[in-house]
Amino acid sequence: MRDIMKLVQQAQEMQGHLKRIQDELREMTLTGTAGGGMVTAEVNGQGQLKRVKLDASVVNPADTEMLEDLITVAVVDAQRKAEEQAQEQTSKLAGGMNLPFKLPF
């Protein structure tokens, strides 16, 4: 019975740590770039897009496809950085263990 209570306590502590990590990730800002920095995308640590910045030199009405591609690359770059940050934070929580699943954020 004592072992079960200890497991419950550990689970509650881990849940509290997980919530803190989620809060920290939500407040982070990670930046992805494309076109040598002419397009930047900012996401939070959960990968949610917050902002896109465009250098005026990449805004060419005759070539919107290039701009679309640059925006996509910048957003994907920022989201990749957010995923890496989330994995780094959750690996600290798991004590460096490689979890066989992704956490839902």
CATH number assigned to the domain comprising residue 33? 3.30.1310.10
The answer as to whether 102 is a domain residue is no
Whether 79 maps to a domain, the answer reads yes
pLDDT score for 30: 96
- Whether the Cβ atoms of residue 45 and residue 26 lie closer than 8 Å to each other: yes
pLDDT at 97: 47
> Measured between alpha carbons, how far is 62 from 54 in angstroms, rounded to an integer?
16
Q: Which pLDDT does position 95 carry in this prediction?
A: 66
Q: Classify residue 93 as exposed, middle or buried by CB count within 10 Å of its CB (0-12, 13-18, 19+).
A: middle
Low-confidence ranges of the chain (pLDDT < 70): 94-105
**Structural domain range at position 29:** 2-93
Secondary structure element (H or E) that encloses residue 95, with its range: none
Q: What is the structure's pLDDT at 104?
A: 55
Domain count, the chain: 1
For residue 101, being part of any structural domain is answered with no
